[in-house]
Structure 1
Amino acid sequence: MPIGLLRGGLEVRQFFRARESMIFSFALPILLLVVFGSVFGGDVAPGVTFTQYFVAGMIAAAQLTNGFQTLAIQIPIERDRGVLKRLYGVPMPAASYFLGKVIMVYLVGVAGTALMLVIAAAFFGLDLPGTAQRWLTLGWVTLLGIAACTLCGIAFSSIPREGKRAAAVVTPVALVMQFISGVFFVFTDLPSWMQHIAAVFPLKWMAQGMRSVFLPDSFAANEPAGSWELGRVALMLSLWVIAGSALCLLTFRWTAREDR
């Protein structure tokens, strides 16, 4: 744990020193919010604007991007450059390395979410959560969702054979998850087979948990089960945290295959 906390501080400093990737991480969700919020100005349900619905999904999608997509691309590049091989030579358990990544993604995710909420409330009429319970739900869904996405991203980083090809392998997976999980479209408008596939993965449950925070309780009737299912949201995200941890320990590689 102490080494993981120290590693987390280093990961955060490295993130903010890489200005291009830092700006992209914060700017892309906001850019999508501006584009979609400006183009689609209608209601998806009585009293629920598209922006209100879209913000909930975009917060979850941004966490997926920073946790899963970014790490699954970044780690193979670090592996090819020999960064991970050098880390392997120091007395740092793999779990501490994983914890450092989770801390970095969590802090970046919280900052990005806060920035998005400020812009959405100021320019697109977003109604912020009005009760302490909803803010608490936002907190635990964010924590579990980021942990699950980050650990899955670390585990998935072992699939690309080379760092330069990682984006081609990872990006389509992340995009498909966003399109079938109710980020860009109302989830119940999607074909039922897409809904069933999405329900296997964490992003669907992250987006559903976020909708319970930002949408009125009356909208819960439009969910597949007719309710927010927050208990199942917590269960599914917790299972993915456990599964992601196990996959990390089983599949994570410090060195490239050819170095073995």
Structure 2
Amino acid sequence: MSTTLKPAAPTATTAPRRLGPLTLAARQGRLEIRQFLRSRESVVFTMGFPIIMILIFAAIFDDEISPGVSYTQYFITGMIATGLMTVSFQNLGIWIPIERDRGVLKRLRGTPMPKWVYFAGKVIMVVAIGIAETALLLAVSVALFDLQLPGTAGKWFTFAWVSVLGVTACTLCGIAISSLARTARSGSAVVTPVALVLQFISGVFFVFTDLPSWMQQVAALFPLKWMCQGLRSVFLPDAFGAQEPGGAFELGRVALVLAAWCVIGLLLCLGTFRWTTRRDG
């Protein structure tokens, strides 16, 4: 007795589910945050350096620079701005050359992953670490140095937009300056001196109006000076605005300069960013 074999019924094949752009960005962001946290040196420097500097300078300088404003309070606002610059400009300017030199960027460019996802992951990492660092700085400053938190919604709003514009400008500039480093080792040598000079001339370590006029003019060309000035309007008394070079906090000019640097940084990124090292072509 012969049996007739029936052809197997066709099985439906399910196409792999395509991830949406938000999911891709979130996954890349989580990856970037994990990589950052695994580097203990980066965590200690980024999160600990501003706090260590506040403790040192508060122990050395305890005088008032204006009625009701101590040097420590003035210095803390500058260190908040410096912390935001460190996690964005300095970290990206150092780590992207390392990834480029190791061939990570070259491999990413050869995958189906959209190129923008890589940058979205960096932005998410910067925002997450920046928020954590700023919260830690504020907690230490309030607990140990009597820093007064903003008492109105308007000042919190100013704090938010100054931080967002400042971090955006510094992030874009960090991505742009990463292309200047020829090797992984040269990233720190390129970026760190720039960051240190900006801190010294932008009113972080010294009262800005005590600096030579030519130094003030140079600092006014870069974002950090305006980030510090915007944050002083949040944490220092309104009357202190008269001590600023323009006789006021000039928040309109702060917003204009930081927004201009966002545009400049974006143009520099588009024109200079490299996925491969020069030796790879």
TM-score, length of structure 2 as denominator length: 0.89
8 Å contact 1:205–1:237 — kept in the other structure?
A: yes
Pairwise CA distance, 1:107: 1.3
Partner of 1:44, secondary structure, is strand
Pairwise CA distance, 1:69: 1.2
Cα 1:236–1:5, aligned 2, differ >3 Å: closer, same or farther?
farther
Partner of 2:204, secondary structure, is coil
Pairwise CA distance, 1:151: 0.8
* 2:72 counterpart of 1:56: no
Partner of 1:158, secondary structure, is helix
* 2:197 counterpart of 1:180: no
Identity between Structure 1 and Structure 2 (%): 60
- Matching residue within 252, 256, 273 for 1:235: 256
Tell me the distance in 2 between the aligned counterparts of 1:108 and 1:100: 12
Count matched residues.
Answer: 260
2:277 maps to which residue? Answer: 256
> Which segments of 5 or more consecutive residues in structure 2 lack a partner in the other structure?
1-20
1:80 maps to which residue? Answer: 101
Pairwise CA distance, 1:250: 1.0
Pairwise CA distance, 1:90: 1.7
8 Å contact 1:72–1:170 — kept in the other structure?
A: yes
Partner of 1:59, secondary structure, is helix
1:29 maps to which residue? Answer: 50
2:90 maps to which residue? Answer: 69
1:167 maps to which residue? Answer: 188
- Matching residue within 234, 244, 261 for 1:223: 244
1:114 maps to which residue? Answer: 135
Partner of 2:128, secondary structure, is helix
Structure 1 vs Structure 2 CA RMSD: 1.3
Tell me the distance in 2 between the aligned counterparts of 1:183 and 1:174: 11
Pairwise CA distance, 1:20: 2.9
Pairwise CA distance, 1:48: 0.2
Cα 1:94–1:44, aligned 2, differ >3 Å: closer, same or farther?
farther
* 2:226 counterpart of 1:205: yes
Pairwise CA distance, 1:191: 0.8
Cα 1:92–1:234, aligned 2, differ >3 Å: closer, same or farther?
farther
Q: Is the deviation greater in 216-225 or in 86-95? A: 86-95
Tell me the distance in 2 between the aligned counterparts of 1:6 and 1:133: 34
Deviations 1:225-259 (A, max 9, x none): 11111111111111111111111111111110000
Partner amino acid for 2:191?
V
Deviations 1:123-172 (A, max 9, x none): 11111111111111111111111111011001000001111122112111
Deviations 1:12-57 (A, max 9, x none): 2222232331122111111001111111111111110111101110
Partner of 2:185, secondary structure, is helix
Q: Which structure has the bigger radius of gyration?
A: 2
Tell me the distance in 1 between the aligned counterparts of 2:113 and 2:243: 48
Cα 1:92–1:200, aligned 2, differ >3 Å: closer, same or farther?
farther
2:167 maps to which residue? Answer: 146
> Which segments of 5 or more consecutive residues in structure 1 lack a partner in the other structure?
none
Partner of 2:247, secondary structure, is coil
Q: Is the deviation greater in 8-17 or in 49-58? A: 8-17
2:11 maps to which residue? Answer: none
Structure with higher RCO (Cα < 8 A, 6+ apart): 1
2:119 maps to which residue? Answer: 98
Tell me the distance in 2 between the aligned counterparts of 1:99 and 1:233: 26
